[in-house]
Amino acid sequence: MTGKRLSGWDMEDSAWDAGNAIIRSAHLERRHKVRPSRVTLEQAQELFKTCMPVRKKEEKRSADCLGQILAKPVYAAVTQPPFPRSAMDGFALRSRDICRADIQHPVTLEVTGCVCAGQETEFMLKLHQAVRIMTGAMIPEGADCVVKQEDAEWDERAVRIYHNAKPGENYCPAGEDFSAGDLLAEAGTPVDSYLLAAVTAAGVRKLTVYKRLKAAVITTGDELQNTETSLQPGKTLPYSGFQPQYALLQPVFHSHPSQESSPASFCHKNLCG
């Protein structure tokens, strides 16, 4: 026996050959009424690990990685949000200008303009000024809070504020969700819809994941019949083989990180007689 290292394909072929040998052995034991040799669950798991090929990695579009497992950690490429933005429709202003505002003593400020979501603003607030602003819009320089429109009365030139506001109120700072370079997910994390949304928002276009496993489900028995033919007397359909077959389409996670698997491609063999 040489010291040649088996490739991934060689290991898959060896695992397939081993499976065929087990099936042939089971048929011989049944035919000659030989008491079958048995192994414990732990021994079977160890045998499976020795035949399991080394997981290969691949880099591909983030949107195509749903259900797979990260092979490398993912870091944010951009800051989110990239600028201070408003959490409400209302007025961006300086909190100290309305620190004494209440129902009996409203404060009136000059309205210098309006900023809608998606617009860049060059407004710079001065003393006793405010800017009409929409949810998600860039907060102008000088403002440190946003008063929601339900707490104000306004026209095109002025706004009357009936409540005070604290610095940072309704104000989403740049990087509130994450900053460029922040870790989003460790290697070994399953790629689900939530992670895909996060990496998309973080400007990550490609992920490095483990390739999907290939697996086979083999059912045996003289009573089994192929599902594509009419059921004959004394025969039954191999329904017990379909549960693990469909289970392979669901994410499966093992204790060893290198053996975490995503939904596998599979074939289902029905050996009758």
Record the tokens describing residue 202, joined without a space.
């973080």
Per residue in 241-260, pLDDT (tens digit) is 667 666 666 654 443 444 44
Q: How confident is the model at residue 23 (pLDDT cuts 50, 70, 90)?
A: low
pLDDT score of 180: 96
| Pairwise CA distance, residues 73 & 43, whole Å | 33
Q: What is the pLDDT of residue 261?
A: 45
Please give the pLDDT value at position 273: 45
**Residue 64: C-alpha distances to residues 72, 90, 121, 262 (Å):** 16, 40, 37, 13
Percent of the chain with pLDDT over 70: 73
What would the two tokens of residue 178 be? 């994450």
Residue 53, CA distances (Å) to 60, 151, 184, 212, 220 in order? 21, 65, 29, 12, 25
Query: What type of residue is 244?
Result: P
pLDDT single digits (tens) 82-138: 999 999 999 999 999 999 999 999 999 999 999 999 999 989 999 999 999 999 999
When pLDDT is averaged across residues 222-240 and rounded to a whole number, the result is 77
17 confidence band (pLDDT: 50, 70, 90): low
Quick one: pLDDT at residue 3?
43
pLDDT score at 230: 81
